[in-house]
Amino acid sequence: MTEEKKEIDKELINKVKKGDLKAFDAIVIFYQKAIYSHLYRLVNNPDDALDLVQDTFIKVYKNRKSIDLDKNFKSWLYKIATNTAYDWLRKQKRLPQNQEIDEVIEFETTDANLAYYNMEQANNLDLTAALQSLKSSSENILRLYYQQGFTYLEISEILQMPIGTVKTNIARAKIELAKKFNKN
């Protein structure tokens, strides 16, 4: 599959839905790196992330009949992965407490947007370090939005949080990143 193809086609997903193991293997191969990356950022342990990847794909296969071909398969997969990680973290009692956000800030500053889009051109600051310095929830949301290309609504469904909270977290993370880049 080429890089241009960002998602698995519906025909392959339909085969998985019917129990085709070769089609399922193709989906696992296609998504396993991205799912591992996503889970690693949530649990911060490579061995645990690998276990959770396996658990995620087991759940996908067990629930393959509930796949809705009219909906985004990638969002559904990420939601399963995220819930698998959250369940595991709860069992480990390591799930960060979500803070309630009283105000929903639905704005994006030009400076913050410019800082984010020009991050790769910033010579003095390592992007990975900058992202990791954010709260883990903000880093995760930014990665889902910018690296994985999910919409606000899809992120809201994946992380099971209100869309306003997603928008707020993205806006705040952009502002925080802008401040980091403007210092250098």
Confidence of residue 32 (pLDDT cuts 50, 70, 90): very high
The whole-number pLDDT of residue 165 equals 85
Residue 99 forms part of a structural domain: no
Question: For residue 100, is it left (φ>0), alpha (ψ between -120 and 50) or beta?
Answer: beta
pLDDT at residue 108 greater than cutoff 80:
no
Let me know whether 178 and 119 are in one domain: yes
Res 7: pLDDT: 60
pLDDT band at 57 (very low <50, low <70, confident <90, very high): very high
Q: What is the pLDDT of residues 137-159, one digit of tens each?
A: 677 787 788 777 888 888 888 88
Predicted confidence (pLDDT) at residue 95 exceeds the cutoff of 60:
no
- Identify the domain containing residue 128 by its residue range: 110-183
Asked if residue 176 and residue 117 are part of one domain, the reply reads: yes
Whether residue 14 is found in the same domain as residue 87: yes
Within a domain: residue 4?
A: no
- 39 and 78 fall within a common domain: yes
Listed residues 30, 65, 92: the one ending a domain: 92
Q: Are residues 86 and 19 in the same domain?
A: yes
One domain, residues 65 and 131: no
Q: What b/e readout covers 6-19, taking b as 16+ CB neighbours within 10 angstroms?
A: eebeeebbebbbee
Given pLDDT bands bounded at 50, 70 and 90, which one contains residue 122? Answer: very low
pLDDT given for residue 127 in this prediction: 58
- DSSP state string for the chain: --TT--S--HHHHHHHHTT-HHHHHHHHHHHHHHHHHHHHHHH--HHHHHHHHHHHHHHHHHTGGG--TTS-HHHHHHHHHHHHHHHHHHHHT-PPPPPP-SS------HHHHHHHHTGGG-SSS-HHHHHHTS-HHHHHHHIIIIIS---HHHHHHHHT--HHHHHHHHHHHHHHHHHHHHH-
Domain CATH for 115: 1.10.10.10
Contact 169/106 with Cβ under 8 angstroms? no
Residue 169 is encoded by which pair of tokens?
């977290």
> Looking at 8-17, 63-72, 166-175, which range is the least confident one?
166-175
More confident residue, 29 or 145: 29
- Average pLDDT of the chain is 75
Is 16 found in the same domain as 87? yes
Stated pTM of the model: 0.62
Domain termination residue (choose one: 60, 92, 124): 92
The pLDDT of residue 85 is above 80: yes
Q: What is the DSSP string of 102-147?
A: SS------HHHHHHHHTGGG-SSS-HHHHHHTS-HHHHHHHIIIII
Residue 39 domain flag: yes
Residues 74 and 30 in one domain: yes
Residues composing the chain: 184
Higher-scoring residue by pLDDT: 147, 184: 147
Tell me, yes or no, whether 87 and 115 share the same domain: no
Number of domains in the chain: 2
Q: Would residue 98 count as lying in a domain?
A: no
